[in-house]
A and B are shown apart, each in its own frame.
Chain A
Amino acid sequence: MFEDLQLGGIVVSTIRNAPVLIFAAMAGLFAERSGVIDLALEGKMLASAFASAAVAFSTQNVWYGVAAGLAVSAAIALIQGFVSITQKGNQLVGGIAINIAMSGLTFVLAEYFFHQGGQTPNLGEIRLAEIILPGTEALKGIPFLGWFYGSVLGGHTILVYLAFALIPLVHWVLYHSRFGLRLRACGENPHAADAAGVSVERTRYLAMFIAGVLCSFSGAYISIIQSGFFLRDMTAGAGYLALTAMVFGNWRPAYTAIGCVMFGFFSAVQIQIEGVDLPVVGRIPGSLIQMIPYVVTVIVLAGLMAKSVAPKAIGRPFVKSR
């Protein structure tokens, strides 16, 4: 049974699935802890995925692609900020609208520039190289350790390491830096923050900008690293899944990251398990495994496992008292 399941393969692909969710969920954390609901993670990821793949192909340089994705995603985040903060509009609707608009626009632009049915051409050779740690060759023969060193610790692209390094960094920024304290104050009690001399609007704009930047890596990772091209709606709900991980993680970086890795694990299992006969239960359809993250999160939300509490001022535009 374990030969069929390829446990090692599941571990490696979990590590490779997780960055998509980690970047987006950390982005969401900044936005939501500052008091802005970020339903537009999906749209920003998709826009960044398209921009990265398109620019990377046109310039034949991956890093120009990543930069383009970053610029586009940050710009959308600021538009979202304008809607949510300055216009005091409905943040849920703004987010959904951006997702819908981007789903259409990325296809239209891809078709207009490349004429390949809404795809961008395959990047081929210029995709980011996987980092081979020194000594991998020497350890190759040793069972487990060789695999662990070569394929679990090493053998990933730089963005994977960046994603995992981001988790403690975000934790530090949110909980131990002055900016993080102010940001959380804006999300919990903006009037107190305002009275203490913090500009709620500016803090939230800054949070949105950071969210846009972080989210862009998620999109770039999907298009440049995971597939090598842009495909219509290729984010396939990953933005919402990242949001789910954040709710599951009670809006805290470490727990959110655990959620991301767990959900990454589920999708790795789903691919491995499809069509494999298991003892007792038989074949488990992939669609049922897909459901698990959402069901678990609903259970958490219902307070049956742990309690998930959103930032208090989330979704409410700040109106300065006179």
Chain B
Amino acid sequence: MKTTELPRWASGFVLPLLNLLTALVIAGLVIKLLGESPVESLQILISNSLMLEHLGYTLFYATTFIFTGLSVSVAMKAGLFNIGTEGQMYIGGLGLTVAMLAFDASLPAILLIPAAILGSMLFGALWAFLPGYLQAKRGSHIVVTTIMFNFIAASLMNFVIVKYLIPEGEQNPSSRPFADSGSMPRLGEWIPQFADAPLNLGFLLALAALALYGIVVWRSPWGYKLRATGLNPNAAHYAGVSISRMIIVAMLISGALAGLAAVNSIMGSTHYLSISFPAGAGFIGIAVALMGRQHPVGILLSSVLFGALIQGGGELSFQKPAIPPETFIFIQGLIILFCGAMENLYGPALLKLLNSRKG
């Protein structure tokens, strides 16, 4: 029998892989142009990101992307395109810093870390609240408002860091380093292979968040309402769901998750707040959510992919000076383009192939 829709394994795995491959082929051509061997480069990239001694770094980056990917996914399930994860993560970092600066001299780690996490989630959620509120109550389009809020966040943080957070006598636009008790415990303390890597408890938190997200969205009444709002707000409204409340709550959760991404990248590695520390993680979150089809397993896999690209790419450009690190920004863009916006590029051809095999 001929089908008009692709089976799940094809649309969920084969298509994303084909798209990824296309992006990598184009990236390979650029690397060829730069005078290096694409095959050798790919080998270096893979061995420097997925081998055990480098895996800790890959998973550290992946942790950030799991949170930003979840942030985008939750909003997307409610039918909202939250481009503002970047800004929410940035402001989340401010919340974390406020908690740190206030308590890191007095509280022990067991209280300090949760306080900082809460601060980050709270600030991230608040930054997402206003776009959510404006969408829900005033009908201002969330895409446009979140773009605005990203820029407002960037200027605001610039102002706050330069004016209030730079320690006296310092030039670097960043806050003072936090006390040691404020760093997330590293997994390297228990797993010797990860000894040097910044991989921390945040990774386990991310896995828990993935599981919780899967359960809440697909197995709870609230998740049912969330998905109904996203699929058909009119029908959901008719069934008694308060759409505006759903939108606001989804954005609050989305912002809080973006705040958790800040926890991983600040408390896991740098231990201070610096200008534009999210470095595009929010936008990678959009790619992660789309590539992973907002499914927990998909989000995990695509986060690891982007984590490997950052870690392996950094090593590759270190070993091959002809390939500057910016090459991987280009490759990221390509992957987002092919996997996020052209997801159906090979759909018709694949469908034709499947139908002809069936006769």
Which residues of A approach B to under 8 Å, CB–CB? 37, 39, 83-84, 87-94, 96-105, 107-108, 111-112, 118, 232, 237, 240, 243-244, 247, 285, 287-288, 290-291, 294-295, 297-298, 301-303, 308, 310
Contacts and interface: CB of A to CB of B under 8 A. Distances in A.
A288 B155 contact: yes
B291 to A, nearest CB: 10
Given A287-B159, A301-B134, A93 B336 contact: yes
Interface in B317-357: 324, 326-334, 336-337, 340-345
Interface in B211-233: none
B341 A87 contact: yes
Contacts of B327: 104, 108
Nearest to A310: B141
A98 B162 CA distance: 31
Contact of B151 (A91, A232, A291): A291
A100 B343 contact: no
Contacts of B340: 89-90, 93-94, 97
Interface of B is mostly: helix
Interface of A is mostly: helix
A81 to B, nearest CB: 12
A104 B141 contact: no
B286 A100 contact: no
A88 B347 CA distance: 12
20 contacts: A84-B341, A87-B344, A90-B290, A91-B341, A100-B336, A101-B337, A103-B326, A103-B330, A104-B331, A104-B332, A107-B324, A111-B326, A243-B147, A244-B147, A285-B162, A285-B163, A290-B158, A291-B156, A294-B149, A298-B134
Nearest to A243: B147
Contacts of B290: 90, 93
A118 B159 contact: no
A97 B336 contact: yes
A87 B345 contact: yes
Contacts of B330: 100-101, 103-105, 108
A232 B155 CA distance: 20
Contacts of B159: 285, 287-288
User: Lowest 7 A-B CB distances belong to which pairs?
Assistant: A101-B333, A104-B329, A104-B330, A100-B333, A94-B341, A97-B337, A89-B341
Contacts of B83: 92, 96
A288 B149 CA distance: 14
Contacts of A232: 326
B145 to A, nearest CB: 6
Given A100-B280, A101-B337, A291-B156, A302 B329 contact: no
Given A93-B340, A97-B341, A301 B151 contact: no
Given A93-B290, A93-B341, 20 more contacts: A37-B143, A83-B341, A87-B342, A93-B336, A93-B337, A97-B336, A98-B333, A101-B332, A104-B327, A104-B328, A105-B333, A107-B326, A108-B30, A240-B151, A244-B147, A295-B148, A298-B140, A301-B138, A302-B140, A310-B144
Contacts of A287: 155-156, 158-159, 162
Contacts of B345: 87
Contacts of A247: 144
Contacts of B152: 291, 294-295, 298
B148 A302 contact: no
B123 interface: no
A296 to B, nearest CB: 10
B286 A93 contact: yes
